Structure formats: structure tokens, C-alpha cells
Amino acid sequence: MEEQSIFMRVRNSFLNGKPIILVDEEREVEADLVFPAELITGNITEFMVRYGKGLFCTVGPHDELIKRGFFKLPSNYGANYFIPIDYPLEENSTGIPTYERALTCNSISDNSKWANQFKYPGHVTLIGAIDFSKRKGHSESSVELLKICGFKPYSVIVEILDESGDSHNFHYIDELSKQFDLVKITIRDVWKEYIKNEQLISISSRAKLPTYYGEFEIISFDNRLDYKEHFALVKEWHDGTPLVRIHSECITGDCLSSIRCDCGSQLENALSLISTHGGILIYLRQEGRGIGFTPKISAYALQDRGYDTYEANVCLGFKPDERDYAPAFQMLRALGIHRIRLLSNNPDKRRQLNEYGLEIDAVENLYGRVTEYNKEYIATKISKFHHNINMEIVNNSSNYFHHDNSNQ
Ligand SMILES: [Zn+2]
């Protein structure tokens, strides 16, 4: 409901001629003023240039811009810049007054206008947005936001700089939002709505998979969300809500019997429980808390020198935990599952799945094997990742297939 109301607020703000602030908390740590290109006027352009102060850009779907004949610039990084444009009002217009720049933005949002009707190089930076699933920049999220709010997928964006010209000052951004009563929304908010609205994962193949824990059905997926080969193991269940384990790949623990962590034994434990009670195991190919295999081994090397698993990931320039459970949510939805009992100690997993709209009836702990090699690692999961693990049980546990049903 919260999300619904924020998107309605954004829509109303646009209809009332007010830009909104789109905050990127995770990637660039910047915020942009955003407005629909189709509705922008000279006055709104003037406001955005005066109070945003960054680059004045208009953004449209990359492939449509190419189709309409616009010229892409060579680039060696993420954003897809095109040659800047003007839409000439009359013969001697310069393109720089705000009413002319507004006209250029209105014109780019009109699909019937072709590249040869514009002037080059002009005074409005033109950017092509690719699929939001492939890039989560301001360009892509602003276009997605407009689609969600019922406007054409062409936005106008300007980065917000503070009095000293810094673009990373969130306090200033908050003050600006208060001063002009501008709605603030994050890229993460747009991403959550996108994951709810667009089903990008579908079932590809299903086959029998006999294992030492019993016979499962193994299911592969066509995945246009992150293009990774996630899969699911399913065992038929009889009572209403399936037991679900969402397991992130740990090739050293899962396949090589490593006891640096408890992943391998958690996986065995999950298979055993799901085989007994029925349910689903979602296996996500996000090695090393989403940082990838090679960085994980670099993180291990740092841990050999005294860092903990949290510090090691940060030291390598990653977030402590990079995992996104959007693919798990969409895989479950592809399987027709909207309500689960979650086997997990990880509060972030529960929070994310909840935010995407999955109903979680209960959370049940899943313990792994405790060894002298992974005790510290498990202690860090508790102290820094706030995993709901009872260390007393861990300390006293000689039985590594411990399953605690008491925690909801
Ligand atoms: Zn592991």
C-alpha cells in the first residue's frame, strides 16, 4: 500500500507541474530532479536547471532512439549518450532558452518525430535507457518510473548539486525536498515495483532428480532478470504452505566439502527437511554473497590475514552482502507460489521477499555444521549480519542437522 501511494504522489506531482527527486542510495549516491519530457515547460525547465544544477538530460528507450535515427556517441562506460539535440523553434533559434529546451524534450517524447527534424549538436543531452534489469542508473529508473505512473517513457533528469557543487550531499537534498515540497523516491522503490509488475523469469524445463535425500523434480528457468542459471528442486507437499529454502551458491561449501563456512551442511539439512516435509529449494547462483567466485577467494585470503567475512567484502569494494532475492521471488511466482514458510536465519532475506510481495507465514531456523574453522564465521553472521542464530545451540551442537521449529 505504501508503494501504491508513493507512485500516486509522484503522478500527481507531475500533473501539478512539479519535478520529483529520484535518489540513488546504492550506486552513484546521488539524486536527480525528474520530470516527464512530454509535459515539461519552460518554467519547469528553469526550475530544474536552477535548483538541480547538474547536466540537463532527456532520456528515452535506447532501441527506440536508434530506430528513430539518433546518433549514439562512443562510450567506454555504462550510460548510453547520444549526440545532444535541439528541436528548432525557428530558423535563428539557439536552443538554449529554457522554453526551447522544453520544446526539445516535448519533441523527443513524440515518437513520430525523426532524427532529421532535430539539430546537432544541440543543448539537451540525450541518453538511451536500456532494460532496467540490466542497468539500475537514473536514466533507466526514471524511464521505468514514468511507465509505472502512466506517462510516455521519456524523462528529463538533472543531478542535484549543493551550494558547493557537490552531488553527494543527502542532507542538502532533504532540505531541497522540504523547501519546495518535492516528493522523494528511491531507485530501490522503483526497482521493487518493477519486480512486482514485470515477470521476467519463466519455467524452461522440468525433470526427475533422484538424490541421496529422495527424489525431487529439478526445474530450470528462462531468466531475463539477471540472466543467471538459477534452478529449483521441488518435492510435493501436502499441507497448504510449502517449506522453502533459498540457498545462495557456495561452490566451496556445496561441492568441495569446505568447512570454512556452514553452507554445505545447511544445503544438506535443507534437502533432508524438504524431502521429508515437501517443499522447494531455490538455488541462486550468487556466489560469495553475490560478489562472485574470484572475489570470494580474495576475501578468503583477507580472512586468512585476520579480516572477518564482513570486513573482507567491504575491503574489496563490495557491500557486505550484495545479494538480491528478486530472482527467487520471480522463480516462486513462476511456480505459482505466493505464500511460503521460509527456512532461513537471515532477516534481510525475509525483508526483501516481503517487500517484493511474498507472504511469509513463518520463518524456521536452518542450522549447519559447526566446526572449529567456521565458528568465527558464524559468530560474524550473528554480530554483523544480525542472523537469527542461537549461538548457544551452535556451541553445544554436536548434532549438525539441528532444526528448530520454535522460531516464527
Ligand atoms: Zn559458504
Q: What are phi and psi of 121, to 5 degrees?
A: -75, 140
Give the pLDDT confidence score for residue 394 in this predicted structure: 64
- Give me the helices (H) in 278-408, please: 287-290, 293-304, 309-315, 326-334, 347-356, 375-383, 391-396
Residue after which a domain boundary falls, among 147, 176, 196 = 196
Q: How far apart are the CA of 298 and the centre of ligand 1, in A?
A: 14
CA angle 187/193/198 to nearest 5° reads: 120
Q: Is the pLDDT of residue 119 over 60?
A: yes
Q: Is the pLDDT of residue 47 over 70?
A: yes
Q: How far apart are the CA of 192 and the centre of ligand 1, in A?
A: 27
Statement: the pTM of the whole predicted model exceeds 0.85? yes
% of residues, the chain, pLDDT over 90:
78
Reported as a pLDDT band with limits 50, 70 and 90, residue 74 is very high
- Domain extent, residue 240, equals 201-286+323-396
All 3 cell numbers of residue 379? 559468530
Tens digit of each residue's pLDDT (9 = 90 or more) over 214-240: 999 999 999 999 999 999 999 999 888
All 3 cell numbers of residue 245? 529454502
Q: Is 310 inside any structural domain?
A: no
Q: Is the pLDDT of residue 393 over 80?
A: no
Q: Is the pLDDT of residue 253 over 60?
A: yes
Residue after which a domain boundary falls, among 162, 196, 230 = 196
Q: Scanning the structure block, which residue is given the C-alpha cell 557491500?
A: 319
Residues 106 and 9 in one domain: yes
Give the pLDDT confidence score for residue 370 in this predicted structure: 80
Q: Known catalytic residue: 305?
A: no
Q: How many domains does the chain have?
A: 2
Q: Is the pLDDT of residue 400 over 60?
A: no
Residues 260 and 348 in one domain: yes
Q: Is the pLDDT of residue 64 over 90?
A: yes
Check residues 386 and 180 and name the one with the higher pLDDT: 180
Q: Known catalytic residue: 254?
A: no
Q: How far apart are the CA of 254 and the centre of ligand 1, in A?
A: 7
Spatial strand order in the sheet of 279-284:
201-211, 214-223, 231-235, 279-284, 243-248, 339-343, 359-364
Written as one letter, the residue type at 386 is H
Choosing from 68, 321, 341, 369, the catalytic residue is: 321
Q: Note the Cα 261 to chain centre separation in Å.
A: 26
Residue after which a domain boundary falls, among 156, 178, 196 = 196
Check residues 175 and 27 and name the one with the higher pLDDT: 175
Residues 6 and 21 in one domain: yes
Reported as a pLDDT band with limits 50, 70 and 90, residue 397 is low
d(CA 335, CA 331): 6
Choosing from 11, 260, 289, 323, the catalytic residue is: 323
Query: What is the CATH number for 62?
Result: 3.90.870.10
DSSP string covering 268-282: HHHHHHHHHH-EEEE
Check residues 383 and 152 and name the one with the higher pLDDT: 152
d(CA 52, CA 73): 24
Give the pLDDT confidence score for residue 395 in this predicted structure: 66
Reported as a pLDDT band with limits 50, 70 and 90, residue 407 is very low
Residues 13 and 37 in one domain: yes
Q: How far apart are the CA of 250 and the centre of ligand 1, in A?
A: 5
Residues 42 and 154 in one domain: yes
Q: How far apart are the CA of 283 and the centre of ligand 1, in A?
A: 13
Tens digit of each residue's pLDDT (9 = 90 or more) over 331-351: 999 999 999 999 998 888 999
Q: How far apart are the CA of 366 and the centre of ligand 1, in A?
A: 14
